[in-house]
Amino acid sequence: MMRYQYLIFDLDDTLLDFKGGEIAGLKNVFAKQGFDTVLQEKAFNEYTRINWELWSAFEKGEISKQTIHQTRFDKLLVSLGVAGDGSAFERQYREELNHNYRIIDGAEAFLAHLKQSGYHLIAGTNGEAQTQHLRLEHTGFDSYFEQVYISDEMGVAKPDPGFYTQIFNENPEMTKNNTVMIGDGLASDIQGGTNFGIDTIWVNFTQTPAPETPQPTATVQTYKELIQQLS
């Protein structure tokens, strides 16, 4: 008998290679803006810091997602001491992300196995609706999910319990005992599942040292380990 019946999956860096696309996309944007190699490296490091701080504030409910998109490249240019139009950077970067169809090695075979095994697969992700739908469509991953929930369309984002409330309300057979949240994001996926009262599995492909909180129900470093946790 399966331990869980309903699997809610994060997408970025759990199944889809967001990080790889982010790096390539930013390099393309910076190159188009005339940054030399040294400035590109500095810009990438500064962007990573600024973007992380903004998304952390968003996940705490302190700012809107619109604020992230409106300010991150302006903040970057100020930090670098470089003149430019942050909104132009954002438009170019969004186009790059919309065409990021990279997937994590083994993800497709993993999803196929789960679907064949009879699990109910649900995508539950924070992010831009257009970007996520395009990536699911072009990778073919949309065929594995019975439903796709994106914070941009829901009006609420992980780790807010309301994100999960919507999913459960539309799936009456789901219970807190037969459902698990699976993702790489401690502050969003693991904290979100914990806030709602369901089990969580932290996908830690990068072998990041685990903080004291939040505590996932289980931690895995490979899809093979994840299958074992689900069995």
DSSP per-residue letters across 155-198: T--TTSHHHHHHHHHT-TT--SSSEEEEES-IIIIIHHHHHHT-
Residue 218 exposed, middle or buried by CB count within 10 Å (0-12, 13-18, 19+):
middle
In degrees, rounded to 5, the angle at the alpha carbon of residue 160 between the alpha carbons of residues 123 and 148 is 15
pLDDT tens-place string over residues 15-53: 999 999 999 999 999 999 999 999 999 999 999 999 999
Q: What percentage of residues in the chain have a pLDDT greater than 90?
A: 90
- For residue 1, pLDDT over 70 is answered with no
Give the three-class secondary structure for 13: coil
Helix (H) or strand (E) holding 67: helix 65-80
Residue 60 binned pLDDT confidence (cut-offs 50, 70, 90): confident
Predicted model pTM = 0.88
Sheet holding 179-183, edge to edge: 147-150, 120-125, 6-9, 179-183, 199-203, 218-220
Residue 164 binned pLDDT confidence (cut-offs 50, 70, 90): very high
Q: What is the mean pLDDT of residues 141-166?
A: 96
Gap between the Cα atoms of 228 and 217, Å rounded: 14
Point out the residues that are catalytic.
10
Residue 164 exposed, middle or buried by CB count within 10 Å (0-12, 13-18, 19+):
buried
The structural domains of the chain, ordered by start, are 6-17+101-230 (3.40.50.1000), 19-98 (1.10.150.240)
Q: What is the mean pLDDT of residues 101-107?
A: 96
pLDDT tens-place string over residues 195-229: 999 999 999 999 999 889 999 999 999 999 999 99
Task: Record the tokens describing residue 106, joined without a space.
Answer: 């083994």
pLDDT of residue 124: 98
- For residue 62, pLDDT over 80 is answered with yes
